[in-house]
């Protein structure tokens, strides 16, 4: 179907109001490093161990909650756009603040002191028996890295689709109990043939994550013929002389016969230089506890890096953008999802009204913009509605979502833009 390249400005922007009632949680803020953290009552649905965004439910295995960064203003300040000098200065500092995904926090600099831990209902763990550390989850595209990470954390942190190379950023997920804290880096799939500057920067992020990790989990697809993992090790660990402990996880064991699992397990044990091989089904949670036990045996003793209720250090707007990007992957085909970059331009909390979220979808070409918008804007409307519903489930509140499509030619080759979008190893805290 031939489409006109002249698009009305009215068709490239849609605003959608919530039509369903969502429970608004009781939240309380506290200050930390000049940023305000609020406690969101997001809980993941876990029906048959298949995790998805959804209304608040109790988890059978965990009662952890998602802590996310968000800034609140009074209704008057939001509507009139006027902030006091102190708020304006504070906001400028926060906007300039970046969270590094390449460096571990100093163990000796606790994020919360004992008083703050008591205020939150936690007591400091005995560090003599407590384990904590970083885990890099690496592998080729579409082997189930994000699914495994979500299962281990107990909540949906990384987006999951049936298309390869869905994950672009390193997703920092935190799995805690009274006795341990493991920080998971869910990384993009290893790309053998790099087509854009984006691919190169993504692979650098994979390497940075693995080099900084206390141990590495390498995923392979158990359905495929066993193959050498040298390419994965090269991209993730490079020429690192002293390699961290490595676990090879054979995922999707639910799709093959037990006899085949045993044969492939023996092959990987014989022909790969890893410490152990464990078959799992990340989708259904089978074998995930075995993976956790192996990781815990490799983590060093020490205090936690983060408060125990935190399951991610990423800001709230990061997850909003990821939800929109997930819907793009689910709704569109071929090259279109891979050419899209989703940015949250504005996130305004309005106590007496719906939160306002303005999102832009950046594409390479005008033809891709036409496909995203669709005839009479129907495709973009479908996308925005699906994204809004998941965002509301995620935030547990009603939102006003505005989605706009913009063309920035060759954005995947623009290193300055890529760093601004967070592919340089840092994400914006606000």
Stretch 281-290: mean pLDDT, rounded?
95
pLDDT at 314 over 70: yes
Sign of CA dihedral 42, 98, 406, 369: negative
- Residue burial 341-377, b: 16+ Cβ < 10 Å; e: rest: bbbbeebbbbeeebbbbbbbbbbbeeebbbbbbbeeb
pLDDT, one tens digit per residue, over 158-199 is 767 666 666 767 778 899 999 999 999 888 888 777 888 888
Half-sphere exposure (CA, 13 Å, Cβ side) for 352? 6
- pLDDT top residue among 51 and 413: 413
403 three-state secondary structure: strand
Residue 68 has pLDDT above 60, yes or no: no
Q: Which of 58-62, 110-114, 200-204 has the highest mean pLDDT?
A: 200-204
- What confidence score (pLDDT) does residue 101 get? 54
In Å, how far are 99, 171, 187, 315, 400 from 426, measured between CA atoms? 5, 11, 14, 12, 28
**DSSP code, position 377:** G
pLDDT band at 22 (very low <50, low <70, confident <90, very high): very low
Asked if residue 373 lies in contact with residue 405, where contact means CB atoms within 8 angstroms, the answer is yes
User: pLDDT digits over 141-162, tens only?
Assistant: 889 998 999 999 988 887 676 6
Confidence class for position 205, pLDDT limits 50, 70, 90: confident
pLDDT in tens, 250-280: 999 999 998 999 999 999 999 999 999 999 9
pLDDT at 206: 85
Beta pairing partners, 359 = 344, 403
């Amino acid at each position: 179907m031939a489409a006109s390249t002249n698009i009305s400005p009215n068709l490239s922007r849609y605003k959608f109001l919530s039509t369903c009632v969502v429970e608004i949680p009781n939240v309380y803020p506290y200050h930390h490093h000049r940023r305000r953290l609020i406690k969101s009552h997001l809980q993941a649905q876990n029906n048959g161990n298949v995790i998805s965004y959804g209304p608040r439910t109790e988890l059978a295995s965990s009662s952890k909650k998602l802590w996310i960064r968000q800034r609140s203003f009074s209704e008057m300040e939001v509507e009139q756009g006027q902030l006091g000098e102190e708020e304006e200065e504070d906001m400028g500092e926060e906007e300039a603040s970046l969270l590094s995904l390449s460096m571990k926090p100093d163990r000796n600099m606790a994020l919360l002191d004992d008083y703050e831990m008591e205020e939150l209902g936690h007591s400091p763990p005995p560090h003599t028996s407590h384990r904590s550390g970083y885990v890099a989850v690496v592998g080729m595209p579409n082997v189930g890295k994000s699914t495994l990470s979500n299962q281990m954390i107990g909540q949906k942190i990384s987006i999951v689709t049936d298309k390869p190379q869905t994950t672009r950023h390193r997703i920092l997920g935190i799995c805690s109990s009274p006795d341990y804290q493991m920080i998971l880096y869910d990384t993009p799939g290893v790309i053998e043939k790099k087509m854009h500057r984006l691919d190169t920067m993504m692979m650098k992020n994979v390497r940075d994550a693995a080099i900084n990790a206390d141990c590495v989990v390498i995923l392979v697809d158990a359905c495929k013929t066993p193959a050498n993992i040298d390419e994965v090790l090269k991209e993730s660990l490079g020429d690192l002389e002293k390699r961290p402990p490595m676990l090879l996880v054979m995922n999707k064991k639910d799709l093959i016969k037990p006899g085949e699992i045993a044969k492939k397990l023996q092959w990987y044990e014989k022909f790969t230089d890893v410490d152990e091989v464990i078959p799992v089904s990340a989708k259904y949670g089978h074998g995930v506890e075995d993976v956790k036990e192996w990781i815990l045996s490799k983590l060093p003793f020490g205090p936690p890096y983060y408060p125990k209720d935190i399951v991610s250090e990423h800001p709230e707007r990061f997850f909003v953008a990821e939800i929109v990007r997930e819907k793009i992957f689910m709704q569109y085909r071929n090259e279109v999802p891979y050419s899209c970059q989703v940015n949250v331009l504005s996130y305004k909390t309005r106590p007496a009204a719906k939160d306002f979220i303005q999102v832009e979808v950046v594409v390479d070409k005008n033809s891709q913009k036409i496909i995203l918008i669709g005839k009479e804007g129907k495709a973009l409307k479908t996308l925005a509605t699906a994204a809004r519903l998941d965002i509301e489930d995620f935030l547990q509140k009603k939102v006003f979502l505005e989605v706009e499509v913009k063309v920035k030619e060759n954005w995947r080759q623009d290193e300055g833009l890529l760093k601004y979008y967070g592919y340089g190893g840092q994400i914006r805290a606000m």
